[in-house]
C-alpha cells in the first residue's frame, strides 16, 4: 500500500540540521505514526513521503518554508521584568506561554538584561533547513475514528 491521504503511516526518522547535528530521532524508541493529509507532520516531509511504501528509505531536505517557517523578527521582543512577577530566577532557554492576539503562544527566553527580558515566539526550528533520514515501517488505511479525530491512534500515535 502506498502512502496517500487518509492512510496511517509509521516511520522511523532521524532529524538533522544543516550542520549535520542530530536534533531528534525515533531510533531506539517507538516509531512515529501520523495520519497522512491531516497536517500531523511538516508539509515538506509529508509531501516527500506521499507515494512511498513499506521498506522505502529516503533522505528528505526541507527548506524553512515547508518546515517551521522563516524566522519572523516581529516574534522577538523585549518585555519588562514585571511581566514575570513571582518567578525568581529567569534563565536563557526557559520557555513560557504568553498571551498573543491569536491565543496562547509558546516563547523562549533569549536574553535576561537589566532593562528587560528578550523573548522569541518563533518555533525553535524556524528558519532552519532540516534533513530527515526516514524509513517507512508501516502503511494502513485509517479507521473512521482516526479520520474523525484527525490523528493516528495506537502504537506510535495518539493514545486515548
What are the extents of the domains in the chain?
A: 7-68+126-149, 73-120
Q: What is the pLDDT of residue 88?
A: 85
| pLDDT at residue 138 in the model | 97
Parts of the chain with a pLDDT under 70: 155-160
Q: DSSP states of 62-85 as a string? A: E-GGGTT----GGGEEEE-GGGGT
**138, 149, 148: which is closest to 7 by C-alpha?**
138
Judge contact between 139 and 2, C-beta under 8 A: yes
What pLDDT is stored for residue 159 in this prediction? 54
- Sheet with 103-113, strands from edge to edge, namely 76-79, 116-120, 103-113, 95-100
Options 2.40.110.20, 2.40.10.330, 3.60.20.10, 3.90.110.10; CATH of 73-120: 2.40.10.330
* Residue/partner pairs of 58-61 with CB below 8 Å, 24 or more apart: 58/133, 58/134, 59/131, 59/132, 59/133, 59/134, 60/131, 60/132, 60/134, 61/129, 61/130, 61/131
CATH domain 7-68+126-149 topology? Chitinase A; domain 3 (3.10.50)
- pTM of structure: 0.82
Q: Please give the pLDDT value at position 158.
A: 60
Amino acid at each position: 500500500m502506498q502512502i496517500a491521504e487518509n492512510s496511517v503511516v509509521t516511520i522511523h526518522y532521524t532529524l538533522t540540521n544543516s550542520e549535520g547535528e542530530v536534533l531528534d530521532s525515533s531510533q531506539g524508541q517507538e516509531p512515529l505514526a501520523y495520519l497522512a493529509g491531516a497536517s500531523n507532520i511538516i508539509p515538506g516531509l509529508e509531501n516527500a513521503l506521499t507515494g512511498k511504501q513499506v521498506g522505502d528509505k529516503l533522505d528528505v531536505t526541507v527548506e524553512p518554508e515547508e518546515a517551521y517557517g522563516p524566522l519572523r523578527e516581529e516574534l522577538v521582543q523585549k518585555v519588562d521584568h514585571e511581566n514575570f512577577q513571582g518567578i525568581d530566577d529567569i534563565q536563557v532557554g526557559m520557555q513560557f506561554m504568553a498571551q498573543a492576539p491569536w491565543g496562547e503562544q509558546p516563547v523562549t527566553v533569549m536574553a535576561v538584561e537589566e532593562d528587560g527580558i528578550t523573548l522569541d515566539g518563533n518555533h525553535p526550528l524556524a528558519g532552519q533547513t532540516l534533513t530527515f533520514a526516514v524509513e517507512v515501517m508501516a502503511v494502513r488505511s485509517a479507521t473512521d475514528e482516526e479520520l474523525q479525530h484527525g490523528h493516528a491512534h495506537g502504537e506510535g500515535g495518539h493514545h486515548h
